[in-house]
Structure 1
Amino acid sequence: MHTVEAFRDLQSEAIAWRHHLHENPELGYAVHDTARFVTEKLASFGINHIETGIAETGIVALIQGAGGDGPTIGLRADMDALPILEASNKPWSSKVSGKMHACGHDGHMAMLLGAAKYLAKTRNFKGSVALIFQPAEEVELPSGGLRMVQEGIMDRFGISQVFGMHNSPSVEVGKFAICDGPIMASQDDFDIVVKGRGGHAAKPHETIDPVVIAAQIIVGLQSLVSRSTNPLESLVISVTKFNAAQAYNIIPDHVEMAGTVRTLVPGLRDFAEQRILAVAQGIARGFGADIEFKYRRSVPVTFNHTEGTNLAINVARHLVGLASVNDNIERRMGAEDFAYMLEARPGAIILLGNGPTAGLHHPAYDFNDDALSYGIAYWVNLVETALAS
C-alpha cells in the first residue's frame, strides 16, 4: 500500500483545485460550472469514458484497470454548496455572496480528482473504478443521490460496491472513523397546522387558542422519545418552525408548525409518523380544535455493510496505523444521502479527520487542506486493495 507521503506532490495540485471550487460555490442541481470544471479535469487525466448530465449535472467517469477483467467499484463525491454567507476570512473565501462550501464538498471533489489522476496514470488494478460526482446532496427531496440511483447508474456502469468519504471536524487530521451498520440517521420532516378559532388576545375565553394547543403538542411530542421508545434506540423529534399571529393583540385562527424526525432504526420511522399524528390530533381535539398533518419521508438510515466496512477499516489502518482508526464511532444523528447508494449496493462511508475547525454548515467552516493527501491516499489504496490484480 502507498503511504500518505507518496501523494504530497499531488496534494499541492489538489489544494489549487479545492480553492477554485471553494471560491465558486453552486447550489443543488445548478452546479453547472462545478461539473464543467470536474469534467475538464477528468478528461485531462486521460479518462475517456465520462458520462455527464446524470440527475441534471451529475457525472460518472470510468477508469479501466490494466489488470484485466474484474468488478467495478464506485467512489462518490458530492458537489453542491450551501446557502450560507461565508465568514471564514480565508483568502479563497466564496466569491458568491450567500453561498459557500460549508460542508467540505470542495475537499471531497478535490480528493476524488486527485485519486482519479493517480489511478488513470497507474491503472494498477483489475476491473474498473466508477468515479461518481453527485449534485444536490444538501437537497432533501429528491436529492442527487436518490436521482442518480433512480437513473440507473449502478446497473448501467456495473457497480458492485460503492464507497463514500466525508470530512469530520470532530476527528483529528490523519485519523479516520467508521462503524459497521447504521452510522448516520434517517431524516423525515413533518408539518402540522393547528386549526382553532381566533379573536382578541384580551378575550381568550371567546377563542380556541391554537398557540396554547400547539405548545401542548410540542411538549407531548417529547414524550414519544422519553416514554414511548426504547432508550437504547435513538429517536429525535425536533419542532423547528412555529408561525402564529403577526401582532401582540391577536389570537390567530391557526398555527403552523414543522419539524424533523431522526432515527437509526428504520422501523421507528413508521412509529413516529403514526404517533406524531395521534398525539397532535388527540391534544387538538381535546381542546376543541383540529389539525392538518403532513409527513414526508426523506433520507433513509445510512447503513454500512460489514464487508465494505471491514475493507475500509483495513485500508485506513494500513495507511495511518491501528491507533488512528476508530472502528466503532458513536452513531450520528445527521443524515447523508449517500444512504440511497448504500441501499442500492453494498459498501461503506468513512469519516476523514478535518481537525479542530468550525463545525459543518457553520459560516466559519473551511475544509482543511492538510487532510487532502490522506483522502487521496485512502481512495487509491482502497481501489488497489479491492481490485487487486
Structure 2
Amino acid sequence: MDILALARAEAPETVRLRRHFHEQPELSCNEVNTIAFLEAYLKDLGIPTTNVPDGGLLGIIDSGKPGKTLLMRADVDGLPIQESSRNLKQAKLCVSKVPGVSHACGHDGHMAMLLTAARILVAHKDAFTGKVVLCFERGEEESGDIQNLLPYIVKESGLQIDGCYATHVRWDMPAGTVSITPGAVMGGGCSFVVKLEGTFGHGARPDLANNPMDCFCDLYQQLNAFRMRKVDPFECLTFSLGFVHSGEKYNVIPDSLEFGGTARFFSYEKAGSPFITFLKEALDHTAALYHCKATIEHMPEALFEARNNTACAELGRKAVTEALGAEALKDPQPWMASESFALFLQEYPGVLAFTGIANPELGSGANHHTPEFDMDERGLTYGAAMGVAYALAFLNTAFDPQFTPNPEPVERLAKRNI
C-alpha cells in the first residue's frame, strides 16, 4: 500500500469533514449533533457503531481475520471561545457558525483524520488482521465523559483491546510533519481550590485578628519554593494560581480567603504526587500556625501525564518513516498541556502522536485555545496517513510492548481530572 498516496487521494473529503465539524462545534458533554453525524457517517461506510451514553461513539472495523485489536481515538468537543475571523495573517477559510463556541484546539481535525483513516482501512481490510476500534470521545476538554466511556470499553464492551493510538494537532509543528516519541509527551496535572478561614478584625488592631492573608502569603511562598527544594532538577513541575479572592475594605481584615490554581508535570510519580502531598501537609501546618481553618473545596485526583509506550513508539516511528519518509518525522519538545488520552495509555500500551498544522505563510501557528487558532489543512493528510501506517504496523507485527496496566479500578482511574 502507498499509504500517503491513498491519504492524498482522500484529501478533499478530509477537508470537507474538517470544515463541517469546524462550522458546527458543540461544547463538552453536549455533542449531540456531532455524534449523530459521526454515527451516520460510519454506518454509510458499513461500520457498526455503539453509542455510549454520555461517553462517546465506538465503531468497529473487522478484517475478518483473527488478530489483535487496536483502539484509535479522536476527541469531538469544542471550546467556549469566540473565534476570530482572522488568523495570524489573513482571513480564515473556515469559521465557526456558532456564537461563542469554536474548535480552537483542533478536535475538528482529529475527527477528520480518524474518519479518513477509517475510509482507507475499510477499503483495504485485506491489508491487516484483527480489528480497529474507532473511538470518538465526548467531553475531552473537561475530562468529563471519559468517566463513562473508558469503564464501558474496559468492562462492558466485550472488546479485548491490545493497544491504543491517538494524534493531536500542534500549533508549533509545520504542516507535513508528524511526531511519535517514547516517554511523556503531554503533561499531567492537578487542580485545587482552597478556602482559608481566620478571624475578622480592624486594620488598627491586627493583633486581635487572625488574618487569612498572612496564612496565604506564607503558604504561597512554600508552594513556589517546592520545585526548587524537593523536585529532581531533571524533572519538570509548574505551579500557578489562577485566582485569589479576599476582603472588600482597605481597613478591614477579612475573615476568609479563597485561592485556586494548578500544577503540571511530566511524571506523576516523581513530581506530581510529591507536590500534592506537600500541598496538603503545608496547608494543614500553615493554617494551624496562623490559627486559621483550611478547607480543600476542589481537588480531584490528579490526571497522569500522557506517557507513550517505548516499544509502540519505536514501531510507530519505523512505520511513519516507511510510509511518509524520514523527513516527515520530527521530535518536538514535550507539551505541558494535558490530555485525557493519558488515561487510555494507563490501560493499554500505545502512543499519542502529533500532527503539524503550522504554516506562517497562511497565518496558521496561533496557540491552541486562542481566537486566532487555525490550521493548514494539508497537515491533516499526513496525520491521517500516520494513523493508517501505525494501525497496519501494530496489527501486523508480533512484538511485546512490555506493558503493565495501571492497577487502579477503572472507575477511579477514569475520574482523574484537572
In the TM superposition, residue 34 of structure 1 has moved relative to its aligned partner by 0.3
Aligned to 1:56: 54
Q: Distance in 1 between matches of 2:116 and 2:321?
A: 21
Q: Distance in 2 between matches of 1:105 and 1:180?
A: 23
In the TM superposition, residue 203 of structure 1 has moved relative to its aligned partner by 4.9
Contact 1:101 1:366 in 2 (8 A): no
Aligned to 2:307: 303
Q: Distance in 1 between matches of 2:257 and 2:15?
A: 49
Aligned to 2:14: 14
Among 237, 240, 257, the residue aligned to 2:239: 237
TM-score (normalizing by structure 1): 0.92
Within a 5 Å distance, the mapping from 1:80-159 to structure 2 comes to 80-89=77-86, 90-123=92-125, 124-140=127-143, 143-153=144-154, 156-159=158-161
In the TM superposition, residue 180 of structure 1 has moved relative to its aligned partner by 1.1
Q: Distance in 2 between matches of 1:194 and 1:324?
A: 52
In the TM superposition, residue 226 of structure 1 has moved relative to its aligned partner by 1.3
Q: What SS class does the counterpart of residue 379 from structure 2 fall into? A: helix
Within a 5 Å distance, the mapping from 1:1-389 to structure 2 comes to 1-47=1-47, 49-52=48-51, 54-65=52-63, 68-89=65-86, 90-123=92-125, 124-140=127-143, 143-153=144-154, 156-201=158-203, 203-267=205-269, 268-293=271-296, 295-327=299-331, 329-356=332-359, 357-388=365-396
Q: Distance in 2 between matches of 1:44 and 1:341?
A: 28
Return 311-320 or 145-154, whichever deviates more: 145-154
Contact 2:237 2:272 in 1 (8 A): no
Q: Residue 279 of structure 2 aligns to which amino acid in structure 1?
A: I
Q: Which runs of 5+ in 1 are unaligned?
A: none
Q: What SS class does the counterpart of residue 171 from structure 1 fall into? A: strand
Contact 1:146 1:341 in 2 (8 A): no
Q: Against the structure 1 CA distance between its residues 9 and 321, is the aligned structure 2 distance closer, same or farther, given a 3 Å change threshold?
A: closer
Q: 1:248-303 deviations in whole A, cap 9, x for unaligned?
A: 44432110011112222222333222211222333333333232235321321211
Q: Against the structure 1 CA distance between its residues 85 and 248, is the aligned structure 2 distance closer, same or farther, given a 3 Å change threshold?
A: farther
Q: Against the structure 1 CA distance between its residues 153 and 288, is the aligned structure 2 distance closer, same or farther, given a 3 Å change threshold?
A: closer
Q: Note the aligned Cα RMSD (angstroms).
A: 2.1
Q: Against the structure 1 CA distance between its residues 313 and 88, is the aligned structure 2 distance closer, same or farther, given a 3 Å change threshold?
A: farther
Q: Against the structure 1 CA distance between its residues 55 and 302, is the aligned structure 2 distance closer, same or farther, given a 3 Å change threshold?
A: farther
Q: Against the structure 1 CA distance between its residues 147 and 303, is the aligned structure 2 distance closer, same or farther, given a 3 Å change threshold?
A: farther
Q: Against the structure 1 CA distance between its residues 264 and 121, is the aligned structure 2 distance closer, same or farther, given a 3 Å change threshold?
A: same
Aligned length: 383
Q: Distance in 2 between matches of 1:30 and 1:312?
A: 33
Q: Distance in 2 between matches of 1:361 and 1:55?
A: 27
In the TM superposition, residue 358 of structure 1 has moved relative to its aligned partner by 0.7
Q: Residue 59 of structure 2 aligns to which amino acid in structure 1?
A: A
Q: What SS class does the counterpart of residue 326 from structure 1 fall into? A: coil
TM-score (normalizing by structure 2): 0.86
Q: Distance in 2 between matches of 1:340 and 1:145?
A: 9
In the TM superposition, residue 331 of structure 1 has moved relative to its aligned partner by 2.6
Q: Which runs of 5+ in 2 are unaligned?
A: 87-91, 360-364, 398-418
Q: Distance in 1 between matches of 2:255 and 2:190?
A: 27
In the TM superposition, residue 189 of structure 1 has moved relative to its aligned partner by 1.3
Report sequence identity in percent.
28
